[in-house]
Structure 1
Amino acid sequence: MTLFLTHPDADLHVNPPGHPEQVDRLPAIRAALAGMDLRRETPDPAGDDVLTRCHPQSYIDGLEAAAPADGWVQLDADTSLSPGSLRAARLAVGAGVAAVDAVMAGRAPNAFVAMRPPGHHAETARPMGFCLFGTVAIAAKHALDVHGLDRVAVVDFDVHHGNGTQDLLWDEARALFVSTHQSPLWPGTGDPSETGAHGNVMNRPLPPGSDGTAIRRAMEREILPRLDAFAPDLVLVSAGFDAHRADPLAQLGWETEDFAWITERLCDLAARRARGRVVSVLEGGYDLDALADATAAHVDVLRRRGHG
């Protein structure tokens, strides 16, 4: 049975009024998944020993020192700390690690983590893009270092390039990072020339206005063959749903069915190469209805494939 990890304290991360990364994102997802047959668990917060797999202690200490007792501390134009932000971010990382542990132990065939803040823009020592810690990158390092895997793939289909994950895994030869994203678009990274220190990064930008046909073609012709050749022992997914045509922050035209199709193909890959092991972690998605629908479609595929 698919593992679903979330925690009510994720709602303690409160952005300033009008911020697109709002508390209501997770209630919308929880409601959409309420009727699904899932194994539901809550994570423990990640300690410094987990966070330092990707971030220096000085960075962690700096965030802790900056955390406010009330109100907000603005870290950059888009990224802020509220009193509950660091607990929420530690829980998000803890959930990613717990999902890897459960799937590797065979307690669940696959897993979905619905936590916030997101993580794929957090660089080694720089918070940005709503993100504080690199949840998926830390989960990948945990899988490699703790579980002794030879190869882990991270597939990021958020509409924004996962610059943080790329930064954190740039020198990690055991990890393949693959990103599809709109370009041009913030943060301005993700050119195909960015290939990692070991040829372990693949960026596939898509022009504004691209629809589901474009991503399906890219997946079939370029991305899935590259992943298949890499033969990962585990597939991690940065599941951003802001490429949906209804999302306010970008201009791609994907439909809910496109997210389901991508998930099916990644599950096919995992079945061939990784004993079906998939861990998916929520990233973006800022239209609440589109977020709920696309997440439900994504998780329903995981659920069906997990039962199969």
Structure 2
Amino acid sequence: MPARTSAPVLFRHPSSREHNTGTHPERAARIEAIDAAIAARGGLGFEARSSPAADDALLTAVHPQAHVDRIRQLCENGGGWIDGDTVCSPESFTAAAHAAGGAAALVDALLGEGRPAGASVHRPPGHHAEVGRAMGFCLFNSVAVAARRARDAHGARRVLILDWDVHHGNGTEDVFRGTDEVLFISIHESPLYPGTGPASQIGTGSGAGYTVNLPVPEGSGDAEFTALVAHVAAPLVRAYRPDLVLISAGFDAHADDPLAGCTVSDDGYATMAATMRAVSDEIGVPVGVLLEGGYDLGALARGMTVTLEAIGAEEHGGAPEVEDHPLAAAARERLAEHWPALVRGD
């Protein structure tokens, strides 16, 4: 892998503002708030790049051609509702293609150029999009496209995805539940939309043990989320030794978010991000962040800003100290059959 000596990179595209959802909570103002917050901080030291659009070959590494064609045709015909949550406008296919293309370009920068860290900040989000189904505001699964790109174009043997969006990443699980090539970890409020992600779901076949669901109850905040990252996700990074770490970064577990019931603070997100940057540095691999949910504009903008600051830091003092939590301890015991290092303390 190339030496990690370059500045972090940030991929964006104007089409993210053009995906028109009307008064929907997943709206263009989300990107506008993030862009304004990054600009107010002078770009946070990231090299800004324009995202390319994913071609069909990238999209069909995850989704069947029929799914890609359905979304394209719906948009070409003026858009419309896919389900009660998910809507397209004429511009939505282009926005979703740039979101997936930005994710792939991020991987190219991390694994092809040796960039230490980076982010792909687009809408619509992607982690609810299943192999053949758009849902949950999502059309194409960008983080899955990124993981496939890492394997197909850069020969990555293993990719780890941490999803800390408050909603379970059912789409990402759907793509990778049957393989050990991707370790998927999801911290999510339960019960909550989409109603998936029980702790008992660990993957199937050769993927058994490589789906790690970490459901938390309503009201969970910094104590629970940061402990699950520091004392479950980070040890899994050490045990799995991926070639790339990706974060599906939703900010809807924030205390201010209107669509869920968790209470994570700005500092909680900063701590989670700093933990993942530190453990990625420890094993010598890059880390990439992809935007998922987050529907309070202030909390979203602040959460993304502190996350970018933490993962893009040129120097840091190592992993922050995080107190263990009973939820994390229980998860380690539950996962020990497949990941004995979690209880040995390796």
Query: Fold-level match, TM-score > 0.5?
Result: yes
Question: What is the identity, as a one-letter code, of the residue corresponding to 2:198?
Answer: D
The reply to whether residue 201 of structure 1 matches residue 211 of structure 2 is: yes
Following superposition, the deviation at residue 99 of structure 1 comes to 0.4
Which runs of structure 2 are paired with 1:40-189 in the superposition (5 Å)?
40-70=48-78, 72-106=79-113, 108-189=115-196
Paired with 1:29 and 1:167, the residues of 2 have a C-alpha distance of 29
Paired with 1:293 and 1:62, the residues of 2 have a C-alpha distance of 35
Cα pair 2:250 2:293 within 8 Å, conserved: yes
Following superposition, the deviation at residue 210 of structure 1 comes to 0.8
Aligned equivalent of 1:280, options 254, 278, 289: 289
For residues 105-151 of structure 1, what are the alpha-carbon distances to aligned partners after superposition, in whole Å with 9 as ceiling and x for unaligned?
23521111110000000001110000000100111011012111111
Cα pair 1:267 1:276 within 8 Å, conserved: no
The aligned residue for residue 326 of structure 2 is none
CA RMSD of aligned residues (A): 1.4
The aligned residue for residue 9 of structure 1 is 15
Cα pair 1:68 1:81 within 8 Å, conserved: no
Cα pair 2:112 2:154 within 8 Å, conserved: no
Question: What is the identity, as a one-letter code, of the residue corresponding to 1:2?
Answer: P
TM-score by length of 1: 0.96
Paired with 2:174 and 2:256, the residues of 1 have a C-alpha distance of 29
Point out the more displaced range, 61-70 or 209-218. Answer: 61-70
The aligned residue for residue 267 of structure 1 is 277
Local SS of the residue matching 2:300: helix
Question: What is the identity, as a one-letter code, of the residue corresponding to 1:152?
Answer: V
| Structure ID, larger Rg | 2
Cα pair 2:243 2:285 within 8 Å, conserved: no
Consecutive unaligned residues in structure 2, runs of 5 or more: 1-6, 318-346
Question: What is the identity, as a one-letter code, of the residue corresponding to 1:277?
Answer: P
Cα pair 2:126 2:140 within 8 Å, conserved: yes
Local SS of the residue matching 1:53: coil
For residues 5-52 of structure 1, what are the alpha-carbon distances to aligned partners after superposition, in whole Å with 9 as ceiling and x for unaligned?
1011111101132x1001011111011111122100001100000001
Question: What is the identity, as a one-letter code, of the residue corresponding to 2:167?
Answer: H
Following superposition, the deviation at residue 221 of structure 1 comes to 2.9
For residues 222-276 of structure 1, what are the alpha-carbon distances to aligned partners after superposition, in whole Å with 9 as ceiling and x for unaligned?
2222222111110011000111000000010000011110011111111122x24
Following superposition, the deviation at residue 216 of structure 1 comes to 2.1
Paired with 2:315 and 2:121, the residues of 1 have a C-alpha distance of 18
Question: What is the identity, as a one-letter code, of the residue corresponding to 1:289?
Answer: G
The reply to whether residue 238 of structure 1 matches residue 248 of structure 2 is: yes
Cα pair 1:15 1:80 within 8 Å, conserved: yes
Paired with 1:133 and 1:153, the residues of 2 have a C-alpha distance of 19
Aligned equivalent of 2:311, options 279, 287, 302: 302
Paired with 1:139 and 1:105, the residues of 2 have a C-alpha distance of 13
The aligned residue for residue 25 of structure 1 is 30
Identity within the alignment, %? 40
For residues 178-218 of structure 1, what are the alpha-carbon distances to aligned partners after superposition, in whole Å with 9 as ceiling and x for unaligned?
00000010000010111112221000011000110111222
Point out the more displaced range, 5-14 or 102-111. Answer: 102-111
